Amino acid sequence: MMLSCKETTRLASQGLDRELAFGERVALRLHLAICIGCRRAGRQMRFLRKAVRELAEVDVRTNA
Amino acid sequence: MPAPDDFRAQLETLRPYLLRYANLQLRDSAAAEDCVQEALLAALAGQAGFAGRSNLRTWLTGILKHKIVDAIRRQAREPVLQEPGEGLEGSEGLFDGRGHWAERPADWGDPDGALEQAQFFRALELCLARLSARTAQAFMMREHLGLDTSEICKELEITPTHCWVLLYRARMVLRECLQQTWFEKQ
């Protein structure tokens, strides 16, 4: 069963918050292998995490 | 250990940073100031706990995090008004009826360069302000405070499934918003 892009992004998001089950990881990888849109969305969600972690530091850095 | 007055002065220099940190999470400047004040008092009382540690800011932020979680817990006990658009914002419209992208996400290239620009963080904050209060709260607890889902569920009194929906929604809205307000313009 192939996941839709909607299901894939939902699962990719959950993958940032919980351990995915084996079947979920397989389904996710199968879809990502053929879908550039979902690969980009996944990268962007990981980038958001990084950006938000740095958010509080910005003023410190720019005022330094 | 520094003299109490020196220590107090060192703490004070960190107040603006702490306020910013608390405001990002609480979006309520009065509540944020209370948290910072409590954290500074706790730090003064617990100066001995700092002895030997290298980074005052890290230590203080750790204390502040606990105060923020307490404040969130108090907020969560207050009756929640039904938020307009709850359940509607987010992934709707991004996908067609079969769950495929209505418009495929753009390539952000190597986005890390944005992290060097103060302007980018302004854009990010404006995007965060577009999230509904509850969605933003869950998202910031996860990504800013670094709490795990079970802690977020407990403090907000929601189920894990609800929590994942909020986090997914936040990520999709922010992705779309940054695309429009930042990456598209680079």
Can you list the pairs that A21-26 forms with residues at least 24 positions away whose Cβ atoms lie under 8 Å? none
pLDDT for B91:
59
Cα→Cα distances B92→B102, B144, B155, B180, Å: 10, 26, 28, 17
Whole-angstrom distance, CA of residue B59 vs CA of residue B42: 11
Chain A partners within 8 Å of B24 (Cβ)? 55-56
User: What's the gap in Å between the CA of A51 and the closest CA on chain B?
Assistant: 7
ipTM of this complex prediction, to 2 decimal places: 0.92
| 8 Å CB contact of A56 and B16 | no
pLDDT at A61 over 50: yes
3-state secondary structure string across A20-50: CCHHHHHHHHHHHHHCHHHHHHHHHHHHHHH
Listed residue (B70, B36, B56, B38) closest to B141, CA to CA: B70
Residues whose CB is less than 8 angstroms from the CB of residue B112 and which lie 6 or more positions away in sequence, other chains included: A47, A50
pLDDT at A64 over 90: no
**DSSP codes of every residue in B141-186:** HHHTS---HHHHHHHHT--HHHHHHHHHHHHHHHHHHHHHHTGGG-
| Residues in chain B with pLDDT values less than 70 | 1-2, 52-53, 79-92
pLDDT for B81:
54
- Amino acid identity of residue B103, one-letter, is E
Cβ neighbours, 10 Å, residue B86: 16
Provide the pLDDT confidence category of residue A62 given band limits of 50, 70 and 90: low
Q: Lowest-pLDDT range, A17-21, A36-40, B93-97?
A: B93-97
| 8 Å CB contact of A55 and B108 | no
User: What's the gap in Å between the CA of B16 and the closest CA on chain A?
Assistant: 9
Chain A partners within 8 Å of B112 (Cβ)? 47, 50
Chain B partners within 8 Å of A60 (Cβ)? 17
Q: What is the pTM of this model?
A: 0.86
**Rounded to 5 degrees, what angle do the CA atoms B129, B135, B136 make?**
40
pLDDT for A63:
46
CB pairs under 8 A between A and B: 102
Provide the pLDDT confidence category of residue A34 given band limits of 50, 70 and 90: very high
User: What's the gap in Å between the CA of B148 and the closest CA on chain A?
Assistant: 7
